[in-house]
């Protein structure tokens, strides 16, 4: 789960890439970087932390890509995070990749290409990068056709998800390309800014970035496609590589994407409000008000409050904008959940409240919120969750590593809501159901959603990946990711 950005057409793209990375930081905080090209030299920069720590000065050129990383492979130490930051690149020909998703067969792909040699980093991006480089080397010239044919072969080699920005150059030409897997699990959009005779193209993970930069949205990149952009063109060139049925990750709408984004034309904010409204309709509570968990639960709480006619009570306040779920270790998550949320005692004392959040994964946050609310004098705490119970690992780019992590799962069964409520210490608990989730996200749109993390076994994932998912689940260990 990461954020990517590619910009082509300004005299100096580095400041624009940097601003874009800051707008994408909600998608990853465990590394950042950019690489630009000035027709003669490449200018790479990396940091093992957020874009605020990235020294991009001296990055010159009219084309470049950037990345903010959410770690789903490799180690969690500061040294490893810095080494595994993206974009990654190789030369002769020059290829750079900023990758969002997870290629779960990356180790076997890399081994096939390098043999016993080790790649520069531990990330799955190396599979995409090295495969593409290997294919391009077989062509006498770098052009749209050779890139397209290379990406077709790469698609046949890789298993998993990828929505990536590619920078490919030789002495005569340079290309910025958006590249998606056949199911397009992760989002990727194209934008354009025109002023006078200048045309600048953007390829990025969310259209909230385009809004933040004052850029016109052009299109969502289709599944299994390569999209080429060039300042001399009025439109992107879209070439289909291998298109299957779209299975967009439902957790993008639930948690990861910015509330200001639309994914495949579906507003993230509207989906969350819809789910909150349905929770109020199906699981009402006699309460004094609705408390949103900041900031992830706010839109759900808005929907719940509108439907229930209960007031919003700002009972929790966040000190910083860290996303606890995205921290590297359980110890970090526990510490952050305990220290980063303050209760406004005057708002909740003596009141029966409905505490609304997006999801319940490990239960770390909710246990701590409940304890703090009780100490502040809350009379009753009823929890409503905008997502069905999460019970299965994700193999497409969200770091839910093992089956042992989920509070809603016990061995090979899903716990009852009352049992979970007792574990987190609240008066009642209710989740959104699967039909409601699908209705609020899909509506009348012509795509499907990946819900593999909401099912036991391989159900809910794209059907053609069922065999692979079954093998990964068998390899699931308590201390590491199955694909590692």
Domain count across the chain:
2
Active site residues: 2
Asked, for residue 481, whether it belongs to a domain, the answer is no
358 falls within a domain: yes
Q: Looking at the domain assignment, is residue 260 inside a domain?
A: no
User: Does 484 fall in a domain?
Assistant: no
Task: Give the Å distances, CA to CA, from 203 to 57, 69, 191, 259.
Answer: 22, 16, 6, 19
| Judgement on whether residues 282 and 133 belong to the same structural domain of the protein | no
- Residue 113 placed within a domain: yes
Q: Cβ(151)–Cβ(132) under 8 Å?
A: yes
Q: Which ranges of 329-410 would DSSP assign to H, the alpha helix?
A: 330-339, 345-348, 364-375
Q: Are 194 and 290 part of one and the same domain?
A: no
Give the pLDDT of residue 482: 64
pLDDT in tens, 275-284: 999 999 999 9
Q: Is the pLDDT of residue 484 over 90?
A: no
Does residue 50 sit within a domain?
yes
- pLDDT value for 171: 84
Task: Note the pLDDT of residue 331.
Answer: 58
For residue range 300-345, list pLDDT tens digits in order.
999 999 999 999 999 999 886 655 554 445 455 555 556 789 999 9
Which of 185, 209, 244 is a domain's end point?
244
Range 79-94 average pLDDT: 92
Q: What is the pLDDT of residue 324?
A: 52
- Do residues 296 and 224 share a domain? no
User: Measured between alpha carbons, how far is 70 from 17 in angstroms, rounded to an integer?
Assistant: 18
Residue 24, domain CATH: 3.60.20.10
User: Tell me, what's the pLDDT at 404?
Assistant: 86
**pLDDT at residue 338 in the model:** 62
Same domain assignment for residues 357 and 212: no
pTM equals: 0.94
Say how many C-beta atoms besides its own lie within 10 A of residue 80's C-beta. Answer: 18
At 193-239, the pLDDT tens digits run 998 788 999 999 999 999 999 999 999 999 999 999 999 999 999 99
- List the domain range (segments joined by +) for residue 100: 3-244
CB 164 within 8 A of CB 4: yes
Do residues 178 and 298 share a domain? no
Does some domain include residue 327? yes
Burial 231-247 (b: 16+ CB within 10 A, else e): beeeebeebebeeeebb
């Amino acid at each position: 789960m990461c954020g990517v950005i590619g910009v082509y057409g300004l005299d100096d793209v580095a400041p624009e890439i940097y601003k874009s990375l800051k707008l994408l930081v909600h998608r990853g905080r465990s590394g950042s970087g950019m690489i630009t090209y000035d027709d003669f030299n490449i200018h790479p920069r990396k940091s093992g932390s957020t874009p605020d720590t990235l020294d991009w000065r001296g990055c010159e050129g009219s084309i470049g890509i950037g990345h903010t990383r959410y770690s789903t492979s490799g180690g969690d130490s500061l040294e490893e995070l810095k080494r595994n930051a993206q974009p990654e690149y190789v030369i002769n020909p020059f290829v750079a990749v900023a990758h969002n998703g997870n290629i779960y067969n990356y180790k076997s792909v890399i081994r096939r290409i390098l043999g016993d040699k080790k790649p520069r980093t531990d990330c799955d991006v190396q599979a995409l990068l090295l495969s593409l480089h290997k294919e391009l080397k077989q062509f006498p010239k770098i052009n749209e056709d050779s890139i397209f044919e290379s990406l077709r072969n790469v698609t046949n080699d890789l298993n998993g998800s990828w929505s990536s920005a590619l920078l490919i150059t030789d002495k005569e030409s340079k290309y910025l390309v958006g590249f998606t897997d056949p199911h397009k699990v992760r989002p990727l959009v194209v934008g354009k800014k025109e002023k006078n005779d200048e045309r600048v193209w953007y390829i990025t993970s969310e259209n909230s970035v385009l809004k933040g930069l004052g850029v016109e949205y052009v299109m969502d990149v289709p599944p299994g496609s390569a999209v080429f952009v060039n300042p001399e063109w009025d439109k992107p060139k879209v070439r289909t590589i291998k298109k299957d049925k779209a299975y967009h990750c439902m957790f993008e709408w639930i948690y990861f994407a910015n509330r200001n984004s639309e994914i495949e034309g579906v507003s993230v904010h509207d989906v969350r409000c819809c789910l909150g409204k349905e929770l109020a309709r199906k699981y009402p509570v006699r309460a004094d008000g609705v408390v949103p968990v900041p900031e992830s639960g706010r839109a759900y709480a808005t929907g719940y409050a509108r439907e229930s006619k209960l007031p919003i009570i700002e009972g929790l306040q966040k000190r910083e904008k860290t996303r606890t779920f995205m921290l590297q270790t359980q110890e970090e998550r526990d510490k952050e959940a305990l220290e980063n949320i303050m209760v406004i005692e005057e708002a909740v004392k003596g009141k029966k409240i409905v505490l609304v959040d997006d999801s319940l994964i490990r239960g770390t946050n909710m246990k701590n919120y409940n304890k703090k609310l009780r100490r502040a004098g809350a009379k009753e705490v009823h929890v409503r969750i905008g997502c069905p119970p999460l019970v299965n690992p994700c193999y497409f780019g969200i770091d839910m590593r093992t089956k042992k992590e989920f509070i809603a799962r016990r061995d090979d069964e899903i716990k009852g809501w009352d049992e979970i409520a007792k574990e987190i210490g609240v008066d009642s608990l209710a989740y959104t159901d699967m039909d409601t989730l699908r209705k609020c996200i899909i509506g009348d749109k012509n795509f499907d959603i990946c819900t593999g993390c909401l099912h036991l076994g391989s159900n809910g994932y794209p059907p053609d990946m069922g065999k692979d998912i079954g093998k990964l689940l068998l390899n699931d260990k308590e201390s590491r990711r199955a694909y590692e």
